[in-house]
Amino acid sequence: MVYICAILLNMRCPHCTSKPPSKNELPYTNKDFKKRGFYRRKSDSRIIQRLYCKRCKKTYSHAWNDPAFNQKKRRVNYPLKQMLASCVSQRRAAKLLGISRTTVARKLIYLGTLCPDKHEQFLDSQHQQIDYIQFDECQTIEHTKCKPLSIAVAVAANNRKILGMTVSSMPATGHLAAIARKKYGKRPDHRIQGLKILFKGISKSLTATPTIHSDEHPYYKPIINQFFPKARYIQSKGVASAVTGQGELKKTRHDPLFAINHTLAMLRANVNRLVRKTWCTTKKPERLADHLAIYMDMHNVVLTV
């Protein structure tokens, strides 16, 4: 009962508080509203308390502050989140849940905006506690192999919690480089900027002198020295990939970068658009970032408990 009263005391009228108060207007108090019945929300059959504002003579409820306000199918939010982090495509998820593909596409954006806020709370809870991380990059495509994307991932080495992920554009390499330039023009390389954004976001969770481990990519060391000058930086030589593990696991008994390589293998196995041989491809990098944020939340909360 105390919890319910505390909620009601904080339920300021959205109609009154949305306007700037006048000079002669008194502060909003719990005497300015009263209970006025209930209503059953169709989307999840919950009973919601309705309130009446004595100032503006309008009714409202505490549901207006819910991120899922006005959603008609909020029951499918969590099942869809599980499916998107379990290698289920958007079309198949729509069939299994009995909703349209448009609804799935919209809820992907909705869930992709909620999960980063939860991840920020997770990073705040790990404030200056993580002393050993590993990071690396994996590649995927944007509609065609001529337009590759780089995904920078950092994990805590002791428990494989994902600390952050960024998506960056990069030019095509190898035999596709000339074809890509001819067909799509010169493609910018934003991988260094993506790594800087990644390290800036996770820096508050690391100790003053963390241990950072990666492979021997040449442009990693200057970035580490810029963001973590007191860190102990270790670079290990990359080895050949194994057939299993989506090409991320390595052909060796002891892999010094096992935490990051295993996480990347799980990422490719559980996010449908990242599977090596698939017809589900990313059309917009922004949607890939949303999908990765959903998986990151499921990985940290469910898969690595």
pLDDT digit string, tens, across residues 114-173 = 999 999 999 999 988 999 999 999 999 999 999 999 999 999 999 999 999 999 999 999
Note whether 155 and 11 are same-domain residues.
no
Q: Which residue has the tokens 């299994």?
A: 96
For residue 143, the SS3 value is: coil
Note whether 116 and 221 are same-domain residues.
yes
Q: Is the pTM of this model over 0.75?
A: yes
Whether 70 is covered by a domain: the verdict is no
* Alpha-carbon span 209 to 86, nearest angstrom: 36
Note whether 146 and 253 are same-domain residues.
yes
Note whether 141 and 247 are same-domain residues.
yes
Note whether 95 and 45 are same-domain residues.
no
Whether 241 is covered by a domain: the verdict is yes
Note whether 153 and 284 are same-domain residues.
yes
**291, 80 Cβ separation under 8 angstroms:** no
Note whether 47 and 93 are same-domain residues.
no
Note whether 212 and 251 are same-domain residues.
yes
Say yes or no to pLDDT of 55 above 50: yes
Q: Which residues contact 45 (CB under 8 A, 6 or more apart)?
A: none
**199, 227 Cβ separation under 8 angstroms:** yes
**156, 163 Cβ separation under 8 angstroms:** yes
Tell me which of 65, 88, 106 is where a domain ends. 65
Q: What is the DSSP letter of 268?
A: H
Note whether 84 and 56 are same-domain residues.
no
Say yes or no to pLDDT of 211 above 60: yes
Note whether 49 and 81 are same-domain residues.
no
Q: Which domain holds residue 170?
A: 77-303
Whether 71 is covered by a domain: the verdict is no
Whether 43 is covered by a domain: the verdict is yes
**69, 63 Cβ separation under 8 angstroms:** yes
For residue 236, the SS3 value is: strand
pLDDT one-digit tens code per residue, 221-230: 999 999 999 9
Note whether 59 and 174 are same-domain residues.
no
Note whether 129 and 52 are same-domain residues.
no
Counted domains in the chain: 2
